[in-house]
């Protein structure tokens, strides 16, 4: 286990019940960190579970782990909302030591052929995934530099940032941008004792996959009912078969890697992109 006691983490995109953000936030809390959790809305998938309330549920889990938590809504593509998110987090806890950029654009009209894509769909994907990471990193880095105590920044990219995929052009471009941005930022922040790394997961069994399936199937599959569908069972089976480890990726798999990068155990790692793909994708 890692010792993150006395640290404060900020995790974006944390409202999904089966999402990477929730897994990361609760894992960092189990390591002792207080956590600021954020998402565009309190519950991004209200139809998925009657018990799950989104960010309030994550806050409850963090507090049950013995740590403090704060939920703050923010659109990471908007500079004023990002500044408000970071400043409110600092006001509550006094400092932010760890930033995990997990917010991502919900799949939809961007999952089409390039010749059929509207500019608005491209812009939305890039604004949330790439611009959002830039704005969050800028705000957190300014605070970390001013504080002078170093820090950890972890950006969630994707294996789709390493290889192009049909009908995923905007997503692939945005995730590739995150990986290269991470490398550049690491060079700039290293002298301040701030480590900047990225994590590139393969397809993880989250709510988002249902909406990807809905988009690429032109509505034949419904994202809202994905969890209990035959399409979901086929997805799990397919990913299980192609993984040498014999199972589909889960949010906890990514959270374990993030926890390592957030801990002192990774102090000499920066500008690194760690692939979490269970051997199914090798680069």
Catalytically active residues, by annotation: 171, 175
Helix, strand or coil, per DSSP, at residue 70: strand
State the Cα–Cα distance between residues 132 and 135, nearest whole angstrom.
5
E strands, the chain, are 8-12, 34-39, 69-73, 98-101, 151-156, 194-201, 273-276
Q: What are phi and psi of 259, to 5 degrees?
A: -60, -40
Of 259, 274, 251, residue with least CA distance to 33: 259
State the Cα–Cα distance between residues 129 and 123, nearest whole angstrom.
10
State the Cα–Cα distance between residues 75 and 71, nearest whole angstrom.
13
E strands, 83-128, are 98-101
Q: How far apart are the first and last CA of the chain?
A: 29
Of 254, 95, 33, 39, residue with least CA distance to 159: 254
> Are residues 38 and 85 in contact, defined by beta-carbon separation less than 8 angstroms?
yes
For 222-281, give the secondary structure using H, E and C: CHHHHHHCHHHHHHHHHHHHHCCCCCCECHHHHHHHHHHHHCHHHCCCCCCEEEECCCCC
> Are residues 161 and 178 in contact, defined by beta-carbon separation less than 8 angstroms?
yes
């Amino acid at each position: 286990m890692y010792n993150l006691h006395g640290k404060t983490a900020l995790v974006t995109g944390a409202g999904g019940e089966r999402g990477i953000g929730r897994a990361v936030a609760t894992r960092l809390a189990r390591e002792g960190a207080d956590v600021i959790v954020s998402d565009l809305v309190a519950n991004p998938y209200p139809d998925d579970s009657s018990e799950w309330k989104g960010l309030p549920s994550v806050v409850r889990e963090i507090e049950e782990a013995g740590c403090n938590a704060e939920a703050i809504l923010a659109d990471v593509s908007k500079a004023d909302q990002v500044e408000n998110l970071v400043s409110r987090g600092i006001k509550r806890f006094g400092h932010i030591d760890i930033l995990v950029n997990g917010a991502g654009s919900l799949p939809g009209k961007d999952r089409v052929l390039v010749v059929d894509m509207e500019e608005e769909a491209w812009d939305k994907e890039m604004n949330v995934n790439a611009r959002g990471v830039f704005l969050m990193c800028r705000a957190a880095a300014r605070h970390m530099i001013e504080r002078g105590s170093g820090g950890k920044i972890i950006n969630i990219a994707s294996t789709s940032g390493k290889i192009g995929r049909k009908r995923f052009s905007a997503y692939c471009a945005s995730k590739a941008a995150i990986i290269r941005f991470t490398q550049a930022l690491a060079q700039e922040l290293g002298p301040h004792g701030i480590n900047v790394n990225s994590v590139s997961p393969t397809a993880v069994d989250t709510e988002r996959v249902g909406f990807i399936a809905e988009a690429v199937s032109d509505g034949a599959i419904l994202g809202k009912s994905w969890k209990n569908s035959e399409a979901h069972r086929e997805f799990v089976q397919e990913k299980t078969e192609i993984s040498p480890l014999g199972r589909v990726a889960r949010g906890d798999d990514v959270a374990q890697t993030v926890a390592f990068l957030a801990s002192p155990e990774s102090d000499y790692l920066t500008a690194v992109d760690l692939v979490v793909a269970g051997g199914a994708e090798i680069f």
